[in-house]
Copies of this chain bind each other. A is one copy, B any other.
Amino acid sequence: MIRYEHAIACWKELLGTTCVITDPVVCDEKTASCLPDSHSARAIIRPCSASQIPEVCRIANDNGIAIYPVSRGRNWGYGSAAPSAENLVLLDLAELNKIVELNTELAYAVIEPGVTQGQLYQYLTDNNIPLCFDVSGAPPGASLLGNVLERGYGQTPYSDHFLFSCAMEVVLANGEIVRTGFGHYENAKAQYLYKWGLGPFLDGLFTQSNFGIVTKVCIWLMPKPEYFGVFHFAVRDTEHLCTVMERLRTLRLEGTFRSAVHLGNDIRVLSALQQYPWEEAEGKVPISDALKSRLLRQWGAAPWNCAGGLRGDKREVQARLRRIRRVLKGVARVHFMSDSVLSKLAPFAPLYQRLFGVDVRQKLAIFGLMKGIPTERPTQGVYWRKREKSRTKDFNPPADRCGVIWCAPIFPLTAEDTRQVVSTVERVCEKFHFEPNMSLNLVTPRAACAVIGIFFDKEIEEERELANACHKELLDTLIASGYFPYRMSSQAADQFPQLFSSDDPYWDTCRRIKQVLDPRGIFSPGRYGL
């Protein structure tokens, strides 16, 4: 039996009336996303302590009310805080923002869902803790735990966020609290130090799913390196890129790179540096080759721009850099900027650009990411196709009606697959009058992730439709060619039914597990087709 009013009353009693919001204006505001279409919520509940979550779940379960938990909702272009279906109650976990433990000796942090990248960075800086962590390209205000659950990644040796986490605390639909790894043994000394625990490893169930609410996780931190620097080089066209990718695979497989390596195309770089050149383009989209070339020269960017971080002992970094140059000999001219050069350079960005024709602002932001410094710059690209220049003060793209859909297929690290993915993206984006905006990230030694951004102005009805159609055709084409996305937006499951077929024993098994863990389906119905 569904008893909405009763559930609201119970939550008000549990959390206090101010923490249960039913005003539709506030609900719409909070669930505004950058996607062309997304669902709003019928109410928002905002617990202020993890200890309230089991009772929050029991109320939902007892009254048959589906809830949609979000950590911070800053995954713009993947759904923000927009629920996976209409009429859900948004469970906003932003107030659960405690850094529960920070262990300097063993290099880990235990965090709640509301802890942001910026917050942890600030905490480490303020307390002079000689540790750093892998940040994602999401803004400083994005949740760390949320990104672990979506299996996001960054650019350091701890790139894979789910991998470098352990010991989840999960609240099930019935209010039961499951602790994973060794965490369910009260006195386990290695609970935050060893991922798998004893017996079946369950953590994976709670990523990209709707089987429970994760209220705590441990993420592993890295010692600040003795020496850090970034190698980078320009790639002139797709054929050159294909050759480069094969060489990078060699370096990645042999372990010379221990970090993800990042290749941004021209539009990715430009969109992080400026808005669309509406005037020069006389209002026309997509950008012409001539205009793009002019802007590239102006900013000192190349058709593809490769960069990766190197960290360690100075001699070791130098040895690895030498190896990189050896493997890329005759293919690319590899530059290197050490950390000290980078920090001295920052104030002289304009001068540097005049002298060497290279814009360092964008580079410095990307380089910062590789070191573990959260930055807004990569996400600033979402303003690319906005007509207005005005922005809200607090950098709020959904409120500014920026449009973005991310599409992130995984492909083998070969020349042939690189060629096919890049040409598919270019062809489909251009067909729908969008600039192909993408980066390729060497997330594993064998596979890369292409992150394609379809940027549009959400104010314009026609662009919303085009963006949807472009995304649909792009992902359908990629899937048909064998390139599957590593994650999906909260709104995407319905659009790609071929990914979640019930005839597939994999999804059938997932659904049977869902049935046993959340029999009334109160968590995020429809997320990942579940």
Contacts and interface: CB of A to CB of B under 8 A. Distances in A.
Given A189-B417, A318-B319, A201 B199 contact: no
Interface in A481-524: 481-488, 499-500, 504-510, 512-513, 515-517
Interface string A258-282: 1000000000000000000000000
B177 A505 contact: yes
Contact of A190 (B311, B483, B488): B483
B505 A176 contact: yes
Interface of A: 105-108, 151, 157, 162-163, 172, 176-180, 182, 184-185, 187-190, 192-209, 211, 220, 222-223, 225-226, 249-250, 253-256, 258, 311-313, 315-316, 318-320, 322-323, 410-414, 417, 443-447, 479-488, 499-500, 504-510, 512-513, 515-517, 528-530
A410 B180 CA distance: 15
Contacts of A410: 182, 190, 193-194
Contact of A446 (B106, B184, B411, B507): B106
B487 A198 contact: yes
B205 A256 contact: no
B412 A193 contact: yes
A516 B510 contact: no
A506 B212 CA distance: 13
Contacts of A485: 198
Contacts of A253: 107, 222-223
A506 B446 contact: no
A505 B178 contact: yes
7 contacts: A184-B507, A193-B410, A199-B530, A200-B510, A313-B322, A509-B517, A516-B516
A220 B483 contact: no
A315 B311 contact: no
Given A178-B505, A194-B447, A202-B510, 14 more contacts: A107-B446, A172-B505, A182-B484, A185-B479, A193-B447, A194-B486, A196-B208, A197-B484, A222-B255, A223-B250, A312-B323, A316-B319, A319-B319, A513-B513
